[in-house]
Copies of this chain bind each other. A is one copy, B any other.
């Protein structure tokens, strides 16, 4: 679920926005305290920021400039000023989009999803220790050497990685791999695990997958 941070001083508008976004299925939080906004922006783990250009104390543009020095989280500027030159400026200051008040809710949501879609590609790669796990590439890479995983191996590894350090039952793996109506030999899983282990060993993780008898497997 995507998290959105709202920075808007008009309390009515702010609450409206929060509710609109929450109803749409975003996780929306609003900054309510107007000192040290920059640090709040930096601290919050968000996927997108809605930033009012008019703020007490500060102004949105300089705030954005400062923020951009440290983060590239997408930012949509909110503005009520008619002097649109401000908007031009904010675009060159690193905003990803802008919306003029009063906002039409549908358009607002559209712009949000458009920006999120545009920036989605840069999504961070998953890591297993110092190895890059890429499901889109279908491979694991560790300092140069790459192991290509088959579909089954990838399914297993993803599941184990999601719950790294925890026990994943054989049953859970089985249901992830096969429709539970087609009956396959129990041993098929062992074999797939074994093959995955082989590839992990090639990458220098010889004992990555531990067996917990009668319980399942643990990825260290």
Interface residues, chain A, with chain B CB atoms under 8 Å away: 84, 87-88, 91, 97-98, 100, 104, 106-107, 110, 113-114, 117-118, 134, 136-138, 148, 150-151, 163, 165-167, 212-215, 218
Contact = CB atoms under 8 A, between A and B. Distances in A.
Contact of A212 (B84, B110, B138): B138
B100 A107 contact: yes
Q: Is the interface of A mostly helix, strand, loop or mixed?
A: mixed
A87 B110 contact: yes
Say how many copies of this protein the assembly contains.
Answer: 2
A138 B211 CA distance: 12
Contact of A166 (B87, B136, B163): B136
Nearest to A84: B106
B138 A110 contact: no
A44 to B, nearest CB: 25
A218 to B, nearest CB: 7
A110 B136 contact: no
A195 to B, nearest CB: 15
A136 B98 CA distance: 30
Nearest to A154: B215
Contacts of A91: 110, 113-114, 117
Nearest to A83: B106
Contacts of A98: 110
Given A88-B106, A136-B166, 9 more contacts: A84-B107, A98-B110, A137-B166, A137-B167, A137-B218, A138-B212, A148-B212, A151-B212, A151-B214
A104 B99 CA distance: 13
